[in-house]
A = this chain, B = another copy of it.
C-alpha cells in the first residue's frame, strides 16, 4: 500500500504529486484558499499548471488529499461484521473506530478552520461523504435481500454519512457520534435543558 510498484518513474510521479499537494496546503494555510491561484501553486511546486490538473481533478481536491478507500472500508465494515452484530451496530463501531482519528494530524485546527471558513470547501467536504450513499445503501440492501433502491436502506446510509458533518467541530466527537446513532436506533428525543445557572 505504501509502495505499490517501486519503479523510478512511479516514485517521481508520487514525488511530484506530493510536492504539489504540499505547496498547495502551505499556501492555502498562509493566505487563504481564494487568495491562492493554481499558477501560484504550480510555481511553488515548480511544475506547469497543466501538471497540477494531471494529478488532481480540480482546485478543491488539492485540499483533500489522501481520502482514499474510505468507501471500501465502509463496505467491508458492513459486509464482514460479526454474525451476531446488527448492521446499525457494525456501522456505529466502525465510525467510532475510524472517524475520530481522521484529522488527528498536525495543523488539524488550522486545516479545519480553513475548510469551515471557505464555502466552496465546506460544500466539497460534505459531498465527499454523501457521494458514497449509493454504494453504502446498496450493500445494506444486499444484506437484507431487498432492492438497491429500498428507501430505508438509502435513508440509513445517507444519515450515517451525514455524521462527519454533524460531528465536525464538536468538543467530544465520540459522544456526538453516539448521540446520532442513538437517534437512528431509538428515534429522536427532545433535548433536555442544560443545567440552570
Which residues from chain A sit less than 8 Å from chain B, CB to CB? 86-88, 123, 126-127, 130, 141, 144-147, 150-156, 158-159, 162, 165-166, 170, 176, 179-180, 183-194
**Contact in complex: A185, B187 (CB < 8 Å):** yes
**Contact in complex: B130, A151 (CB < 8 Å):** no
Known: A158-B162, A185-B188. 15 other contacts (CB 8 A): A86-B190, A144-B193, A145-B193, A151-B176, A151-B179, A151-B180, A152-B188, A155-B166, A155-B183, A156-B183, A158-B165, A183-B184, A185-B187, A186-B187, A187-B187
Closest to A88 in B: B188
Compute how far the CA of A184 lies from the CA of B183 in the bound complex, rounded to whole angstroms.
Answer: 7
**Contact in complex: A158, B166 (CB < 8 Å):** yes
**Contact in complex: A144, B187 (CB < 8 Å):** no
Kindly provide the distance from the CB of A169 to the nearest chain B CB, expressed in whole angstroms.
9
B residues in contact with A194, CB < 8 Å:
146-147
Compute how far the CA of A147 lies from the CA of B188 in the bound complex, rounded to whole angstroms.
Answer: 17
B residues in contact with A166, CB < 8 Å:
151, 154-155, 158
Kindly provide the distance from the CB of A27 to the nearest chain B CB, expressed in whole angstroms.
25
B residues in contact with A186, CB < 8 Å:
187
Compute how far the CA of A127 lies from the CA of B194 in the bound complex, rounded to whole angstroms.
Answer: 31
**Contact in complex: B183, A144 (CB < 8 Å):** no
Compute how far the CA of A151 lies from the CA of B194 in the bound complex, rounded to whole angstroms.
Answer: 12
Compute how far the CA of A42 lies from the CA of B79 in the bound complex, rounded to whole angstroms.
Answer: 52
Compute how far the CA of A123 lies from the CA of B123 in the bound complex, rounded to whole angstroms.
Answer: 9
